[in-house]
């Protein structure tokens, strides 16, 4: 997805949460100061593949989540889903994170050669400054939700989980399998609940663009606007 396609949706997210676009751009520029060119060819294996998009919801602890992830051709793990799957001996092909919960896991993965897709936004500049220098930079792909610049890329998406889905789509995944997703998680605070609603909207948009049907949306699709996520 190019930024021109993503930008109207990004602006809707900013408006809904009252986020500062300038803060996202400053975070992007901080990340670019630490980023180095990342070989995007490392994601060529996603083309035509069944890719498990592992979310960090409570259901990631279920044995069925690990089983379904293990059966996929590739696994993109959001945030703490990486820890759970690794503990279950499920290999992951990339971790997608904004560094807010388990940056030490991201550091270890980068040192072992696993790609870490590290996201910079207006609220996490201190984490970007602290952690990106501690990673093996050749294994880090820095991302932004603002306009990409330098070595910081953008593929669409807002939360760690839906960014992983947009990444897999960008690189040609044939099928997306969602594990560890709990869009109606009653234990989260109101802000997180709003973020999960946006994640659902963005997945609905993505499935429409792919002419697909994501099982993660089956129980909530009537409440998710079809197609354009800002409706």
Percent of the chain with pLDDT strictly greater than 90: 91
In a domain, 229, yes or no: no
- Would you say residue 46 lies in a domain? yes
Is there a domain that residue 230 lies in?
no
pLDDT(49) > 70: yes
Q: How far apart are CA 77 and CA 120, in angstroms?
A: 17
Residue 219 pLDDT: 79
Read off the CATH number of the domain in which 49 is found: 3.90.1480
pTM of the model: 0.96
Residue 132 lies in a domain: yes
pLDDT digits (tens, 9 = 90+) for 156-208: 999 999 999 999 999 999 999 999 999 989 899 999 999 999 999 999 999 99
* Average model confidence (pLDDT) across the chain: 95
pLDDT of residue 38: 98
Closest by CA position to 74, among listed 110, 41, 98, 47: 47
Q: Over 80: is that where the pLDDT of 224 sits?
A: no
Q: pLDDT digit string (tens) for 78-104?
A: 999 999 999 999 999 999 999 999 999
Percent of the chain with pLDDT over 70: 96
Structural domain count of the chain = 1
Q: Is residue 228 part of a domain?
A: no
pLDDT-based confidence at residue 221 (cuts at 50, 70, 90): confident
Whether residue 114 is predicted with pLDDT greater than 70 in this model: the reply is yes
pLDDT number for residue 225: 63
Mean pLDDT of 10-39: 97
User: Where in the sequence is the domain holding 26, given as residue range(s)?
Assistant: 3-223
**Which tokens sit at 38?**
């990342």
d(CA 3, CA 215): 27
Mean pLDDT of 37-54: 98
């Amino acid at each position: 997805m190019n930024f021109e396609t993503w930008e109207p949706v990004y602006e809707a997210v900013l408006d809904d949460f009252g986020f500062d676009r300038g803060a996202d751009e400053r975070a992007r520029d901080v990340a670019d100061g630490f980023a180095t060119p990342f070989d995007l060819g490392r994601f060529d294996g996603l083309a035509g593949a069944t890719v498990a998009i592992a979310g960090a919801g409570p259901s990631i602890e279920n044995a069925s989540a690990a089983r379904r992830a293990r059966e996929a051709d590739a696994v993109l793990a959001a945030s703490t889903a990486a820890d759970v799957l690794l503990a279950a001996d499920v290999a992951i092909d990339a971790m997608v994170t904004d560094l807010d919960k388990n940056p030490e896991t991201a550091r270890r993965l980068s040192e072992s050669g696993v790609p870490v897709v590290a996201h910079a936004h207006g609220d996490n500049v201190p984490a970007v400054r602290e952690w990106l220098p501690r990673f093996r930079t050749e294994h880090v792909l820095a991302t932004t939700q603002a306009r990409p610049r330098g070595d910081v890329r953008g593929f669409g998406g807002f939360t760690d989980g839906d960014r992983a889905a947009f990444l897999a789509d960008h690189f040609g995944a044939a099928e997306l399998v969602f594990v560890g997703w709990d869009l109606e998680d009653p234990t989260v605070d109101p802000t997180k609940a709003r973020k999960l609603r946006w994640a659902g909207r963005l997945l609905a948009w993505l499935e429409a663009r792919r002419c697909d049907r994501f099982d993660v949306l089956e129980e909530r699709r009537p409440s998710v606007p079809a197609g354009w996520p800002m409706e």
